[in-house]
């Protein structure tokens, strides 16, 4: 007959099983671990959270989408002092996800293996889950230290995108070295977009891996720079520029532009006075143009008198074409779809009719139409110029944009570099329209100032993600 000690494990197992069936609390399930764990102890080489390494490490980690092993992966260089919360942001950037869903990390098993050690996202912690450590309380170097170490990441509990992170190399950080917290060194394969596993066409929208774009996004995510509010075209340019010597200047511009607030209602009327005057004149019976397609002299002079950009103009305005700020202003409103030419007359469109009475609509409409359609070079130049204007810059940032375009690889067909004049030609019309929306603008002031609230808001709207 077996003695009492031999029977004890079975008795403990039955007691825990009964508790689990009657009340499936995590504590009871955890209690089953030592009795149910059938893994070979030799396979578990220090799988739990460890004491932080004596010095910081630079880790090269392969992050591989487990559903697509060998075909979708990213090689990441990571600083061991990243928190797991920051690592989550890096992985979102690396795979092009949008942080819409819950996530968790785990050691020694997958994210819901009761034998694993769990690291919980803020929502799970707020909901009262206690079997795990908050991600913001754990550093990467406490989970990964040596070559071959593995950390699991699960994103979106419904779609269940599982990423296996394996250390490929681990080097101590030199004392005088200040590395970027995270970089993408390479990768392959398009990552699945949000919610695509259950989509009618699961492979629709998979974006091919682009090393420069992903690296820029990873750098931005690791340093806490969220670009999700930007027009995706501009966000792509910014991510490419962040690793360059211009990265810090671009970061300042993005942060400053993000601080641009919506103007007060009482600020709209004086800022939009020149726009509404022209819309009102065209709405009466249509504004007749000359045979050459310009405003008649009296109308050109009347519009010039209402433009802040025409203050101090040295000569009387007799022709629209002779007053540089006037013609770009009028054509900008046509390009924005507020005015159109019909049978030699300037007429108001449906959008222009609404803009006459709705300042908020006019603000957002101008923002959405400010950049217009253009080829790749013009589009990228205008996006960067508008970022500068939205940031509240007080100087001429043409030189910065020239350097940015050079860093993005632009040059003339014969190999000659982009020049100041190439960019200034594109900046002029943007500046003349926005400055005309600034009632306090002084064209000949010796002390440059940022654009007014309404003009900056239009520029900020132009570079923001459309919602």
- Contact call for residues 433 and 328 (beta carbons, < 8 A): yes
Tell me, yes or no, whether 220 and 280 share the same domain.
Answer: no
64 belongs to a structural domain = yes
Full DSSP string of 116-142: SEEEE-HHHHHTT--SSEEGGG-BGGG
Whether 1 is covered by a domain: the verdict is: no
- Do both 280 and 303 map to the same domain? yes
Same domain, residue pair 209 and 236: no
Q: Are residues 254 and 214 in the same domain?
A: no
Check: CB of residue 216 under 8 Å from CB of residue 239.
yes
Rg (CA), the chain: 30
Instruction: Output the pLDDT for position 24.
Output: 44
Do 287 and 353 fall within a single domain?
A: yes
Q: Looking at residue 201, what is its pLDDT?
A: 52
Mean pLDDT of 275-280: 97
Classify residue 87: in a domain, yes or no: yes
322 and 180 in a common domain: no
Q: Which domain holds residue 102?
A: 58-224
Alpha-carbon span 39 to 317, nearest angstrom: 88
Supply the CATH number for residue 219's domain.
3.10.290.30
Dihedral (C-alpha) 241, 244, 250, 255: value to the nearest 10 degrees? 90
> Is pLDDT above 60 for 350?
yes
| pLDDT band per the 50, 70, 90 thresholds, residue 32 | very low
Residue 340 makes CB contacts below 8 A (sequence gap 6+) with 334, 346, 347, 349
Work out how many domains the chain is built from and give that number. 2
Phi-psi region of 75 (alpha: psi -120 to 50; beta: other; left: phi over 0): beta
Q: Is residue 89 part of a domain?
A: yes
Strands (E), 10-100: 57-65, 73-79
Residue 320 phi/psi, 5-degree rounding, is -60, -40
| pLDDT above 90 for 387 | yes
Instruction: Give the per-residue pLDDT at 224.
Output: 67
Q: Is pLDDT at 39 greater than 50 in this prediction? A: no
Are residues 296 and 189 part of one domain? no
Domain membership of residue 82 (yes or no) is yes
Q: What's the CA gap between 448 and 445, in Å, rounded? A: 6
Do strands 117-120 and 103-107 pair parallel, antiparallel, or not at all (unpaired)? antiparallel
The neighbour count for residue 251, using CB atoms within 10 Å, is: 16
- DSSP 3-state assignment of 393? coil
Residues 148, 179: Cα–Cα separation, whole Å: 22
If asked whether residues 259 and 201 sit together in one domain, one would say: no
Give the domain-ending residue among 224, 256, 278: 224
328 and 197 part of one domain:
no
Query: What is the structure's pLDDT at 231?
Result: 84
* pLDDT value at 277 more than 90: yes
Q: What are the tens digits of pLDDT across the range 51-75?
A: 766 668 899 999 999 988 778 999 9
Are the beta carbons of 402 and 423 closer than 8 angstroms? yes
Per the prediction, the chain carries an average pLDDT of 84
pTM above 0.75, yes or no: no
Domain closes at, from 171, 190, 224: 224
Residue 467 located in a structural domain: yes
Tokens 């996800």: give the residue.
97
CA 4 to mean position of chain CA atoms: 65
Q: Token pair for residue 419?
A: 């020049």
Question: In terms of pLDDT, which residue wins out, 230 or 467?
Answer: 230
Give 18's pLDDT tier (boundaries 50, 70, 90). Answer: low
Position 175 in a domain = yes
Q: Identify the weakest region by mean pLDDT among 22-31, 41-50, 288-297, 413-422.
A: 22-31
How large a percentage of the chain has pLDDT more than 90?
Answer: 50
Residue 104 to residue 120: CA distance in whole angstroms: 5
Query: Lowest mean pLDDT: which of 83-87, 97-101, 376-380, 383-387?
Result: 97-101
Specify whether 188 is located in the same domain as 288.
no
46 or 134: whose pLDDT is higher? 134
Q: Is 460 found in the same domain as 349?
A: yes
User: Which tens digit of pLDDT belongs to each residue from 408-446?
Assistant: 999 999 999 999 999 999 999 999 999 999 999 988 776
* Within a domain: 43: no
Q: Which of 224, 246, 274 is the last residue of a domain?
A: 224
Residues 434 and 315 in one domain: yes
The predicted model gives 249-274 an average pLDDT of 89
pLDDT given at position 30: 44
């Amino acid at each position: 007959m077996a003695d009492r000690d031999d029977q004890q494990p079975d008795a403990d197992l039955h007691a825990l099983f009964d508790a689990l069936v009657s009340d499936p609390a995590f504590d009871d399930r955890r209690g089953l671990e030592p009795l149910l764990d059938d893994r070979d102890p030799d396979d578990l080489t220090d799988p739990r959270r460890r004491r932080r390494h004596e010095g910081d490490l630079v880790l090269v980690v392969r992050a591989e989408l487990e559903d697509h092993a060998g075909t979708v992966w990213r090689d990441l260089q990571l600083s061991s002092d990243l928190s797991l919360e920051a690592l989550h942001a890096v992985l979102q950037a690396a795979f092009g996800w949008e942080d819409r869903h819950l996530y968790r990390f785990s050691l020694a098993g997958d994210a819901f293996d009761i034998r694993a050690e769990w690291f919980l996202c803020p929502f799970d912690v707020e909901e009262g889950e206690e079997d795990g450590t908050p991600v913001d309380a754990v550093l990467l170097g406490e989970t990964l230290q040596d070559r071959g170490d593995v950390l699991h990441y699960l994103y979106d509990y419904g779609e269940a995108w599982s990423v296996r992170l394996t250390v490929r190399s681990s080097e101590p950080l030199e004392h005088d070295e200040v590395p970027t917290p995270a970089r993408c060194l390479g990768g392959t394969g398009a990552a699945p977009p949000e919610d695509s596993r259950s989509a009618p066409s699961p492979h629709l929208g998979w974006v091919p891996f682009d090393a420069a774009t992903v690296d820029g996004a990873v750098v931005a995510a690791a340093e806490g720079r969220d670009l999700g509010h930007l027009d995706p075209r501009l966000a792509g340019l910014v991510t490419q520029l962040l690793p360059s010597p211009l990265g810090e200047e671009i970061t300042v511009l993005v942060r400053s532009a993000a601080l641009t607030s919506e103007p007060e209602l009482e600020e709209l009327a004086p800022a939009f006075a020149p726009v509404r005057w022209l819309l009102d004149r065209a709405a009466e019976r249509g504004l007749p143009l000359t045979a050459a397609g310009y405003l008649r002299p009296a109308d050109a002079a009347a519009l010039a008198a209402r433009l802040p950009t025409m203050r101090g103009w040295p000569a009387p305005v007799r022709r629209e074409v002779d007053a540089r700020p006037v013609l770009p202003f009028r054509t900008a409103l046509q390009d924005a779809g507020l005015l159109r030419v019909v049978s030699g007359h300037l007429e108001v469109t449906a959008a222009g009719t609404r803009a006459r009475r709705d300042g908020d609509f006019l603000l957002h409409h101008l923002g959405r139409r400010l950049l217009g359609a253009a080829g790749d070079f013009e589009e990228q130049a205008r996006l960067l110029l508008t970022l500068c204007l939205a940031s509240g810059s007080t100087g001429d940032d043409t030189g910065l944009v020239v350097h940015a375009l050079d860093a993005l690889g632009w040059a003339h067909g014969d190999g000659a570099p982009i020049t100041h004049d190439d960019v200034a030609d594109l900046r002029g019309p943007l500046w003349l329209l926005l400055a005309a929306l600034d009632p306090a603008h002084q064209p000949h002031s010796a002390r440059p100032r940022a654009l007014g609230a309404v003009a900056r808001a239009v520029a900020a709207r132009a570079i923001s993600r459309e919602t």
